[in-house]
Amino acid sequence: MSDRQVEIAIDAMGGENSPFKVLKGAEIFLQKEKETKVVFFGNEEQISHIIKQNKLNIFNFEVVNTRDIITDEDNVNTILRSKKNSSIYKGLEYAKNNLNAGFVSSGSTAAIMVLSRLHMGMIEGIDRPAICSLVPNKKNYSLMLDLGANVIVSGSNLFQFALMGYCYFSIINKNKKPKLGILNIGTENNKGLEFLQEAADLIQSSFLKDYYIGFIEPNKITSGNCDIIISDGYTGNIMLKSAEGISNFITSNLKEIFNKSLINKISYKLIEKDLNILKNQVNPDIYNGATLIGLNGISVKSHGNANPIAFSHALSQCHKFIKQELNMQIIKSIKNL
């Protein structure tokens, strides 16, 4: 990419415990990426007060005051017509109009989806954006998309998701030949809905055939045997939320067990090191930051309940995509089909 400074437009108002968690997350991020400029969009008075009150060490930044607030209850028409001075709207507008810039928000997923597509448009050859994120597995991590952007898809959409997933994985793990699979109810070639069969045929008719391992069942996602997992948004979102719920259930029950008695507390101390390793492997904070891949720009969605550390990881994801020109790699791959 060019030597121009990387800029990240940040929605300071979206999600729980904002703007504090956003500002604190930016402070953590800037400790590593000191040359990056950050532009906060939101209530200027509130943002300035929190920075001063908490003595946050944030530098190389700008604040753009916005008045409108987008809520989860706002419909598409309201977002497009009545919330043009919101932090999401103005932040995405800035990211689109500035070279080497991206956008990060913990706000409404629907608003980010609609406004990202409005301002940035789609990469030529890609019909729909997909929500793409890393998910932990036994070996390291896998890449999964779509996680909720598209409830209804065609085989062609899934093929495009596979293409974009391949480009994304090539950025984050350049030294590995990835294995690509389609999420399905069985591994047999005749299993699954028609659009899954169509996607498999399209993949096997392209250069992606060298990476394709077939259908993958949900219980194999954490095995580490598949690096890029393709799904429609409905199935992917249910899969993701089910995994998060089960993980929280197990974690909370383990805490109760180890606090139950003195013997249990001693047992915890004996295996504390191994438990911390496990905790770090499945820590959702380090996987925070799902990109809306396929847009003609960089837009990253953070969890609404992300803490400052998790939000800093979302900023790091955005920075990586800008520096390594994710969109250009997708465009080149499409041209080479």
pLDDT in tens, 220-237: 988 889 999 999 999 998
With residue 329 as reference, give the H or E element that holds it: helix 326-335
For residue 201, count CB atoms less than 10 angstroms from its CB and return exposed for 0-12, middle for 13-18, buried for 19 or more. Answer: exposed
φ and ψ at 53, to 5 degrees? -60, -40
Which tokens belong to 197? 């069969």
Instruction: Copy the structure tokens of residue 239.
Output: 């899969």
Q: What is the pLDDT of residues 212-223, one digit of tens each?
A: 999 999 999 888
pLDDT of 90-102, one tens digit each? 999 999 999 899 9
pLDDT of res. 233 = 92
Q: Are the CB atoms for 292 and 120 separated by under 8 Å?
A: no
Please give the CATH architecture assigned to the domain spanning 127-285: 3-Layer(aba) Sandwich (3.40)
Range from 19-33, 123-137, 246-260 carrying the lowest mean pLDDT? 246-260
What integer is the mean pLDDT of 274-293? 72
pLDDT at residue number 197? 94
* Superfamily for domain range 1-122+294-324: Isopropylmalate Dehydrogenase (3.40.718.10)
pLDDT band at 3 (very low <50, low <70, confident <90, very high): low
Give the range among 69-83, 126-140, 174-188, 240-254 with minimum mean pLDDT.
240-254
Give the pLDDT confidence score for residue 230 in this predicted structure: 97
Residue 284: its pLDDT value, please? 63
Q: What are phi and psi of 131, to 5 degrees?
A: -85, 120
pLDDT exceeds 70 at position 285: no
* Prediction pTM value: 0.84
Domain ranges in the chain with CATH number 3.40.718.10: 1-122+294-324, 127-285
Q: In this model, does residue 243 exceed pLDDT 90? A: no
Q: What is the CA radius of gyration of the chain?
A: 21
What local confidence, expressed as pLDDT, does residue 315 receive? 96
In b/e form, how buried is each residue of 81-104, taking b as 16+ CB within 10 angstroms? eebeebbbbbbbbbbbeeebbbbb
Q: Mean pLDDT across the stretch 100-120?
A: 92
Q: What is the largest CA-CA distance in the chain?
A: 64
Mean pLDDT value of segment 282-309: 84
Q: What is the residue type of 246?
A: I
Report the run of H or E that residue 283 belongs to, with start and end: none
Q: How many CB atoms lie within 10 A of CB 209?
A: 11
Most confident stretch, 39-43, 168-172, 280-284? 39-43
